[in-house]
Amino acid sequence: MTTTPASTPPRPATVRLTQFAHGGGCACKIPPGELEEVVAGLTAPPLTGGDTPLLVGLATGDDAAVVAHRGTALVCTADFFTPVVDDAYDWGRIAAANALSDVYAMGGRPVLAVNLLAWPRDRLPFELAREVLRGGLDIATEAGCHVGGGHSVDDPEPKYGMAVTGIADPGRLLRNDAGRPGLPLSLTKPLGTGVLNNRHKVTGERFEHAVATMAALNREASEAALAAGAECATDVTGFGFLGHLHKLARASGVTAVVDTAAVPYLDGAREAVRDGYVSGGTRRNLEWVAPYTDFGHTDTDTRLLLADAQTSGGLLVAGEVPGAPVVGELVPRGTHSLVLG
Ligand code: CO
Ligand code: CO
């Protein structure tokens, strides 16, 4: 943490933004088990008589909420987090790609985003906030999504993200509860952003390949999944590959069998686990899925990598996606939600 007096904010070039974050990116999420207890039972009775029926709500813990209106599905989501990398522009790009991802994970196309910004105005220069917002704008523009305004607050800890509205074909959504036995599982980005971001935060080492994958849109993956006829997908973020796969398997009433040897990792991810750069969020993810998982002979480091809290991860699709590795399959529901082989 900085010791710079409030009257003289540090020079932008010297700031390491990750040092202002108590947690790391999607690892700063509230743990999945705790969150489910908080929201349990908080579903409103179905609204009647309206022209916007709810297609996807809280019940299945999907990536975004969806209502139908006049033949179109409106997809609504919000996502924001603390700095995952030191560079302001890259953080902005990553946070925007991550927020847009939940629309792609539902089979939608993002059309309008608003910024969500928390900024310690007496400790960090606004010049850096501008860089964060510029990164977000560039990624939204790449996605063909408008950015209109937003909301900002003074906060001791910087946070950035977006609330995003997308549109989709109501008959062609990618839901997390539509998985069926016999479908292969495809993963469109390698794992390991959590441990690499953690290493970056601790040591200052830069991992450009991790930044590139986090800032990459899931647009092509979503379009490819839809073109291949997929009906079930989710994106891999803070709860890790195992956490999001468990949610998908549970919502779909199936068991997911993982071919651990086929799961792709970013260069340096395994070394980062070996060297101890594992976040508390990743350990909580692993604890959360453990009662529902048959780990077989999977070693500890691989378990941690599979549970690694991802930032702006890829799509996990029930179906084959051209160019993406098949990392397992769905089978009829057995004793466990997840089986690692
Ligand atoms: Co998601
Ligand atoms: Co999200």
Give 77-105 as a DSSP string.
EEEEES-SSS-HHHHHHHHHHHHHHHHHH
Q: Options 3.40.718.10, 3.40.50.1000, 3.10.20.90, 3.90.650.10; which CATH number does 176-340 get?
A: 3.90.650.10
Catalytic residue list contains 26:
yes
Q: Convert the pLDDT of each residue in 25-37 to its tens digit.
A: 555 677 777 888 8
How buried is 11 (Cβ within 10 angstroms: 0-12 exposed, 13-18 middle, 19+ buried)?
Answer: exposed
d(Cα 288, Cα 279) in Å, to the nearest integer?
Answer: 14
Q: How confident is the model at residue 24 (pLDDT cuts 50, 70, 90)?
A: low
Over 50: is that where the pLDDT of 218 sits? Answer: yes
Q: Kindly state the average pLDDT of the residues 74-78.
A: 96
Q: What is the pLDDT of residue 43?
A: 77
How far apart are the CA of 82 and the centre of ligand 2, in A? 14
Q: Kindly state the average pLDDT of the residues 49-74.
A: 89
- Of the residues 26, 28, 145, 232, only one is catalytic, namely 26
pTM for this prediction: 0.93
**Nearest ligand, CA 163:** 2
Over 50: is that where the pLDDT of 2 sits? Answer: no
d(Cα 272, Cα 282) in Å, to the nearest integer?
Answer: 13
**Nearest ligand, CA 80:** 2
How far apart are the CA of 276 and the centre of ligand 2, in A? 27
H-assigned helices in the chain: 32-39, 88-105, 126-142, 193-203, 208-215, 219-227, 240-252, 269-274, 280-289, 300-307
Q: What is the pLDDT of residue 264?
A: 98
In this prediction, what percent of the chain has a pLDDT beyond 90?
A: 82
Task: Retrieve residue 83's tokens.
Answer: 């700095």
Over 80: is that where the pLDDT of 45 sits? Answer: no
The average confidence (pLDDT) of the chain is 93
CATH 3.90.650.10 in the chain, residues? 176-340
Over 80: is that where the pLDDT of 21 sits? Answer: yes
Task: Retrieve residue 308's tokens.
Answer: 């690694």
Q: How confident is the model at residue 8 (pLDDT cuts 50, 70, 90)?
A: low
How far apart are the CA of 78 and the centre of ligand 2, in A? 7
Q: Kindly state the average pLDDT of the residues 20-29.
A: 68
Q: What is the pLDDT of residue 4?
A: 44
CATH 3.30.1330.10 in the chain, residues? 12-168
Residues in the 5 Å CB sphere of ion ligand 1: 63, 102, 235
Q: Kindly state the average pLDDT of the residues 224-229.
A: 98
H helices, E strands: number in the chain: 10, 13
Over 90: is that where the pLDDT of 60 sits? Answer: no
Q: What is the pLDDT of residue 96?
A: 98
Write out the CATH class of domain 12-168. alpha beta
Q: What is the pLDDT of residue 9?
A: 61
Q: Kindly state the average pLDDT of the residues 279-287.
A: 94
Q: Kindly state the average pLDDT of the residues 238-261.
A: 97
How far apart are the CA of 234 and the centre of ligand 1, in A? 6
